[in-house]
Structure 1
């Protein structure tokens, strides 16, 4: 059992981030997010860069959980695809560690609406970095 508990950083609070579960066997985290009205564009959907933020957060926490909080990813690149408009309201993200080496990490995430429809997906290449004692 992973006893690591994340801190509520201000950016995560802004996104309505909440931890739901972590599966150590698959190194997959499930997180909830809430897209507030301030994230909505005149077209009625969440601004794309903010969607990338939900995915980035899930990928990062998946790796951090896999190390029990000792390390976090330093993102080198993030690629994401918007498959459907992301509307205001509750969202679920699943982030996974695809491969974790000593020098490079590969992460991925998917974002779903309340009806479990896939809205967006992302991949990232990262450098593993040790977390400072905070």
Structure 2
């Protein structure tokens, strides 16, 4: 299980079976080594629940992601939240879809230091063509740094033939 077909399987046109929890854990456990934005953000899977539709990840931002105030730049914080929210939908659907973000709103509450932090994404509703998501990211001391809400398109794997 590797390659771009896991990012947007419908675009690759290769129908497959839904991933098991172990397969998902293995794939996401290796994601920090992939040449995707996840690597830039310092993504590391913490935990997830298929049934409860959430995913938590630790991020390890580097100084290259800092703003002039020496905290993580707001667009990067939003990217971290987009990552956990989108992955919450993918996990809930067992990677049988692609989930490009259509709209995202982020509210900032505290600066996010350039240190390891935790974020949680939740798929609040998954419909036939769109899903709604929420995300929270915390500072290393446990203070809420930002919250996001987003909508994504749900591109399901198409049946063979």
TM superposition score normalised by structure 1: 0.91
Q: Deviations over 1:72-119 (max 9, x none)?
A: 312110000111011100110000000000021101100012222111
Alpha-carbon distance, 1:35 to partner: 1.4
From 115, 123, 143, the counterpart of 1:117: 143
From 46, 52, 55, the counterpart of 1:29: 55
Q: Report the structure, 1 or 2, having the larger helix content.
A: 2
SS at match of 1:13: helix
Aligned mates of 1:50, 1:131 — CA distance in 2: 30
> Structure 1: 5+ residue runs without aligned partners?
none
From 57, 65, 74, the counterpart of 1:48: 74
What is the alpha-carbon root mean square deviation over aligned residues? 1.7
> Structure 2: 5+ residue runs without aligned partners?
1-19
Alignment-derived partner of residue 90 in structure 2: 64
Q: Deviations over 1:28-69 (max 9, x none)?
A: 101010111001112121111111000000001101111111
- 1:126 partnered with 2:152: yes
